[in-house]
Amino acid sequence: MDTAVFQKLSQVVGPGDWLPEPSRPLPMVPQQDLRRPPQLTQGPQESMKVLLLKDAKEDDCSQDPYVKELGLHGLEATLIPVLSFEFLCLPSLSEKLSHPEDFGGLIFTSPRAVEAVKLSLEQSNKAQAWEKSLREKWNARPVYVVGNATASLEESVPLPLLFPCGTLKREVLPQMLKDKGLPLESITVYETIPHPGIQGNLNSYYCKQGIPASITFFSPSGVKYSLEHIQELSGDSMEQIKFAAIGPTTARALAAQGLHVSCTAESPTPQALAAGMRKALQQPDTC
């Protein structure tokens, strides 16, 4: 989790509204936007190719927002998913969601946890109960999500906050709440695993596209599961690749592997990443 501050939502919406469609393995397809400013180029009419190690997320225009924004900066981005997820303990989560009176609110630090809530209600046939009564009861309780606002977990919470999380959760949040005297009940609802297509998709990319000008990592897990394949495919060309990170935690994971991080996005947004990458690709050794 690269962002460590939380934003309080004024109202809880249904689990189907908390998250877009569940992620799924997606083909490795370059996407471009036709509206482009003057481009960074490798050749006379060739866009600079960059690799994003993430799932595709479509916006209103059916295009991944990172691919779209980088295209506006003259960068041809290709997406390769490197992570998959397995859901755990969904019956237990459903049971806890059935008793909102036992909790002071909810905390989400990843979209996968929100997806687990949705799946737990669907698989336990409690979607109707949610619509009839549970949703209204949870609406009366605060929900905290990862965001860009100042932390708002300052108020007194007499009941524990329910925290659906993954196996790789960091202890920053639990410790912060403990220091503030706020009770927390964690439940592990998903596990992060390597995407089964990592090696094949990377092999295909390098075979067809060659060495990318830049590679962006979106999580420490992505570094763990894909870096070895990238090193093998890049060989002596590793030094010419500009490595980028979506945030400081991922940047530290790259640095721990001995890699120079040319760009760390100032915020986990397409605009911040595009601005940082453009600067890094124009100037040597830009941080």
pTM above 0.85, yes or no: no
How confident is residue 60, by pLDDT bands cut at 50, 70 and 90? low
**Amino acid occupying residue 82:** V
Q: Please tell me which residue, 2 or 271, carries the higher pLDDT value.
A: 271
Please tell me the least confidently modeled range out of 9-23, 164-178, 218-232, 251-265.
9-23
User: What's the pLDDT score for residue 285?
Assistant: 55
Q: Please tell me which residue, 24 or 282, carries the higher pLDDT value.
A: 282
CB 250 within 8 A of CB 47: no
Q: 153-182 burial, b for 16+ CB within 10 Å, e for fewer?
A: beeebeebbbbbbbeebeeebbeebeeeeb
pLDDT at 150 over 70: no
Question: 82: closest CA among 56, 64, 49?
Answer: 56
Quickly count: other Cβ atoms within 10 Å of residue 196's Cβ: 11
CA dist 103 and 181 (Å) reads 15
Mean local confidence (pLDDT), 50-66: 84
CB 104 within 8 A of CB 74: no
Looking at the DSSP assignment, which residues form a beta bridge with residue 165? 188
User: What's the pLDDT score for residue 200?
Assistant: 97
User: What's the pLDDT score for residue 159?
Assistant: 86
pLDDT at 179 over 90: no
Q: 130-148 burial, b for 16+ CB within 10 Å, e for fewer?
A: beeebbeebeebbbbbbee
CA dist 2 and 273 (Å) reads 14
How confident is residue 154, by pLDDT bands cut at 50, 70 and 90? very low
Mean of pLDDT over the chain:
81
Q: What is the pLDDT of residues 187-226, one digit of tens each?
A: 999 999 999 999 999 999 999 999 999 999 999 999 999 9
Could you tell me the two tokens for 88? 């755990």
CA dist 287 and 279 (Å) reads 9
Most confident residue range from 11-25, 55-69, 96-110, 148-162: 96-110
